[in-house]
Amino acid sequence: MWQASIKTLQGEDTKLDHFRGRALLLVNVASACGLTPQYKALESLQQKYGAQGFTVIGFPCNQFGAQEPGTATEIQSFCDTNYSITFPLMEKIEVNGPGAHDIYQQLTPLADNTGHAGDIQWNFEKFVVAADGGAITRFSPKTAPDDAAVIAAIEAGLPA
């Protein structure tokens, strides 16, 4: 997954490898979902842990109820206006099915905190990746970003 090509929301080529050595919180996001207010907690985590080697990375996805229909410009504007997002957002991708992005093909076999493995269930499913890449912890969409278990995974995954 580290070498999978991805574009930023601004259309620039990148890879997760660019963030290697940082603890990551990878999350599929949507602007018109009942869980969209999780953006606030995601940004709070970015602000709290960013200087310690942590980055939230958002992957807009329109596969769940067509809740991310906007263009890249509309998504960025929504995030800036409503949540003052500072963490990177990537291009809109698919996370399930034959068109699932390579990153998510690597992540979905892992079981989440409820025991679910396989397809992403809904918007705002979360994966905490330790800075050394050795541990990945998956959390269900309804698990809040500031849940104690998510925070524990982030803190355990920060660079030494």
Q: Answer yes or no: 33 catalytic.
A: yes
Torsion from C-alpha of 14, 103, 149, 56, nearest 10 degrees: 20
pLDDT, tens digit, 9 for 90 and up, residues 78-131 = 999 999 999 999 999 999 999 999 999 999 999 999 999 999 999 999 999 999
- Identity at 26, one-letter amino acid code: L
User: Is the pLDDT at 64 greater than 90, yes or no?
Assistant: yes
- At 149 the pLDDT is 97
- At 51 the pLDDT is 98
Mean pLDDT throughout 143-156?
98
- Listed in sequence order, the DSSP H helices in the chain are 38-49, 72-83, 102-107, 148-157
User: Is the pLDDT at 154 greater than 90, yes or no?
Assistant: yes
Q: Specify the pTM.
A: 0.96
CATH tag, 5-157: 3.40.30.10
CA dist 94 to 41, 80, 101, Å?
23, 23, 6
User: Is the pLDDT at 160 greater than 90, yes or no?
Assistant: no
Counting runs of H as helices and runs of E as strands, what totals does the chain give?
A: 4, 6
- At 132 the pLDDT is 93
- At 41 the pLDDT is 98
Q: How far apart are CA 73 and CA 55, in angstroms?
A: 22
Q: How many residues are recorded in the chain? A: 160
Annotated active-site residue in 33, 42, 103, 128: 33
List the domain boundaries for the chain: 5-157
Torsion from C-alpha of 46, 49, 50, 56, nearest 10 degrees: -40
Quick one: what percent of the chain has pLDDT higher than 70? 100
